[in-house]
Amino acid sequence: MYQPFTEDQLQIRDLVRDFTRREVAPVAHEWDQKNEHPVELVKRMRKELGLNGITIPEEYGGMGLGSIEQCLMIEEMSWGCLGITLCFGYTALGSLPILKGASPEQAKKWLEPVISGDHGISFCLSEPGAGSDVPGMTTKAEKKGDKYILNGTKQWITGGGNADAYTVFAYTDRNRGTRGVSCFYVPRNSPGLTVGKKEDKLGIRASDTRQIIFENVEVPQENLIGKENLGFIYALQTLNASRPFVAAFGVGVCQAALDHAAKYAREREQFGKKISSFQAVQHMLADMSIITETGREITYKAARMADSNDSNLPKFAAIAKAYTSEGAMKCSTDAVQIFGGYGYTKEYPVEKLMRDAKILCIFEGTTQIQKNEIGAYVIRDSASGK
């Protein structure tokens, strides 16, 4: 169902589009090659766009807007560079367990600094031996008086080297399985917390990914987010809320691949003709356009469901994430094909799009995990006659 955006939503889209095309896209290749988080550029994005607290409620000083606005912002930024978008936005994921579980007092204390743009929070769920298998994690927090003692290692933490604090999931009662997981707000300067070495990745190279190691880290009782043993629920709520955002990353990459490929096809000549006149090339562009437009519709459908607390969000968030991630991979690969040999070099932007796109099929639940979830919902709905 086609639903147009409001004037205010379009203003956000245009603000981010203008900034991204002027300031981010021209330096995306440079930061990818440096393999570094662009500190000054990200500071400028945070100050000049003023959108840090876009989905943080107004009572905590945020803008109180919804997933639609967040998706519009992400889609536009990702058009310019997925890695730099993650440098700007990793705190949105790290803040979600606070939004989902924390008391109003905790949320105010931890989210207010985020709005200024000077405070980053990373989300710490995955571990070296537990990615898809979240309950297989081993990090634990033992209660000792009015503190918890945190031990374990978190893997692949986006923004890990830049963050000022971490939202960390750990077992408080291993015997209760997923009902024994809690979530903690852990400042970076906590004694016993070590930031590991930076990962050398295929794509999203501007984004800083690290291990975070906890050795007898003392976490005060007041840094338990929400209630003890409800952490797994906060983790699921976080992933359901953030999957439309990952889908929006994918739409941005699809659109960028299509725009670059269509422009190149209109310029490149072979056999005395523009390659855009060959039907084989037009069909690749058509497929990219179909994926981009379909992906956009399902992404904003999931975002609308998130904003209206629709109980079918988990299914549609997984569909949006799976479709646009694989779609971004397909569109960026076809864009390289349309550029031919030039597409395979760093002289043109499409090889980076292809390297960047792959992460969308892996993080926040692989495509296979999304399909497991979608399949389970289809069977549930069929059994209940929906």
Which span sits near ligand FAD by CB under 6 A: 51-59, 102-110, 296-304, 355-363? 355-363
Paired with 212 in beta bridges are: 154, 195
Which span sits near ligand FAD by CB under 6 A: 15-23, 171-179, 181-189, 356-364? 356-364
One of 69, 199, 364, 373 is an active-site residue; which one? 364
User: What is the pattern of x (binds ligand FAD, CB under 6 A) and - over residues 96-135?
Assistant: --------------------------xxxxx----xx---
User: What is the pattern of x (binds ligand FAD, CB under 6 A) and - over residues 167-206?
Assistant: ----------------------------------x-----
Query: If binding means CB under 6 A, how many residues of this protein chain bind ligand FAD?
Result: 21
Establish whether 364 is a catalytic residue.
yes
Interface with ligand FAD includes 364 (CB under 6 A)? yes
Interface with ligand FAD includes 366 (CB under 6 A)? yes
Interface with ligand FAD includes 217 (CB under 6 A)? no
Interface with ligand FAD includes 356 (CB under 6 A)? no
User: Which residue lies nearer to ligand FAD by CB, 155 or 276?
Assistant: 155
Please pick, from the candidates 67, 158, 162, 223, the single residue that binds ligand FAD as defined by CB under 6 A.
Answer: 158
Interface with ligand FAD includes 369 (CB under 6 A)? yes
Report the 10 Å Cβ neighbour count for 246: 26
User: Which residue lies nearer to ligand FAD by CB, 303 or 359?
Assistant: 359
User: Which residue lies nearer to ligand FAD by CB, 9 or 162?
Assistant: 162
Interface with ligand FAD includes 345 (CB under 6 A)? no
User: Which residue lies nearer to ligand FAD by CB, 236 or 362?
Assistant: 362
User: Could you give the count of Cα atoms lying within 13 Å of 58 in the half-sphere of its Cβ?
Assistant: 2
Nearest to 70 by CA among 248, 240, 298, 325: 248
Interface with ligand FAD includes 60 (CB under 6 A)? no
**Cβ(219)–Cβ(190) under 8 Å?**
yes
Interface with ligand FAD includes 329 (CB under 6 A)? no
Nearest to 75 by CA among 215, 254, 218: 254
Applying CB under 6 A, which residues contact ligand FAD?
Answer: 122-126, 131-132, 156-158, 201, 209, 359, 362-366, 368-369, 372
Which residues belong to the active site?
364
